[in-house]
Structure formats: structure tokens, C-alpha cells
């Protein structure tokens, strides 16, 4: 039986960058379970599981478009230092939880800090990067549409 759209699958994976830096892995925790076609995982990961059988393994390389998308310059912004609480000791490379005027929150990477301004990057940390995944399909938990 091969995995297809609407199947609930259980996988183990290790995600790394082209230089070998591991950014995520299920190997030291419970396997990852998702339904193919729901869009709950990045597109290339989901597409790569389609056609696999329980016990199959494969290594895939995803371009940014099939991962977290390209890095978008419009998601980088300079904000006045005064807009960030003075109790936060800002430094380059730190992550901040920021809130938009509509109330939604997001993670931002601090790119630069001056006395008057802070440059923030609101892109996903893996945006613009090629991703390498080692996949193992452990089990197809539910096959076909209900």
C-alpha cells in the first residue's frame, strides 16, 4: 500500500541545511503524524511522502519554494527603538516576539540595533534556504477518504 492524498501517516525525519546543520528531527521524540493533503506541513515534505510504502526511506532536497518560501525583503523593517520596551536588552541575533496592530504575534530576528532604531526580520528562519530531509515512512494509519 502506497501513501496518497487523505492518508494519515506516521514518519520519522531529520531536517538539515545543505551544510549539514540539523534544524529539526523527530528521531529523539515521537514520530510525526499528519494527513497528506491537509496542508499542515511544507509542500515539498508532503509531496515527497506520496507514493512511499511503510518502511521506505528517502532523502530529498527542497528548494525554498517547496519549503518556507523565498526570503522577502518586505518582511524586514526598521522600527524606532522607543517602540520596544526598555527592559529588553536588545542584541543582534536575538529573537523577539512582536505584535502587529491587529493583535497577531510573530517571531522576529534582530538584525541590527542602534541607539535610535532596531532592524527586524519577520521571515521564517528557514525562508530562502534549501532544505534536506531524511524521511522514513513508518506507517500508513488511515488509508483513503472516509
pLDDT beyond 70 at 82: yes
Integer Cα distance of 10 and 12 in angstroms: 7
Integer Cα distance of 50 and 41 in angstroms: 13
Q: Which whole number is the average pLDDT over 105-114? A: 92
Q: Please name the residue ranges forming H helices in 5-120.
A: 43-49
Place of cell 507514493: 51
Q: Domain with 32 in it: what CATH number?
A: 3.10.50.40
- Is the domain of 113 the same as that of 130? no
> Residue 138 is part of which domain span?
8-69+126-142
pLDDT beyond 80 at 146: no
Q: pTM for the full model?
A: 0.80
- Residue 81, pLDDT score: 92
- Is the domain of 93 the same as that of 136? no
pLDDT, tens only, 27-78: 999 999 999 999 999 999 999 999 999 999 999 999 999 999 999 999 999 9
Cell of 77: 523593517
Amino acid at each position: 500500500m502506497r501513501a496518497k492524498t487523505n492518508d494519515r501517516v506516521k514518519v520519522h525525519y531529520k531536517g538539515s541545511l545543505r551544510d549539514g546543520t540539523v534544524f529539526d528531527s523527530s528521531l529523539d521524540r515521537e514520530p510525526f503524524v499528519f494527513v497528506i493533503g491537509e496542508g499542515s506541513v511544507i509542500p515539498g515534505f508532503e509531496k515527497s511522502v506520496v507514493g512511499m510504502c511503510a518502511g521506505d526511506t528517502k532523502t530529498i532536497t527542497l528548494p525554498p519554494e517547496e519549503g518556507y518560501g523565498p526570503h522577502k525583503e518586505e518582511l524586514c523593517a526598521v522600527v524606532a527603538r522607543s517602540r520596544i520596551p526598555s527592559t529588553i536588552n536588545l542584541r543582534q541575533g536575538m529573537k523577539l516576539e512582536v505584535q502587529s496592530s491587529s493583535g497577531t504575534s510573530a517571531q522576529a530576528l534582530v538584525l541590527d540595533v542602534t541607539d535610535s532604531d532596531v532592524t527586524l526580520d519577520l521571515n521564517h528562519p528557514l525562508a530562502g534556504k534549501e532544505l534536506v530531509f531524511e524521511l522514513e515512512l513508518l506507517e500508513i494509519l488511515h488509508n483513503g477518504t472516509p
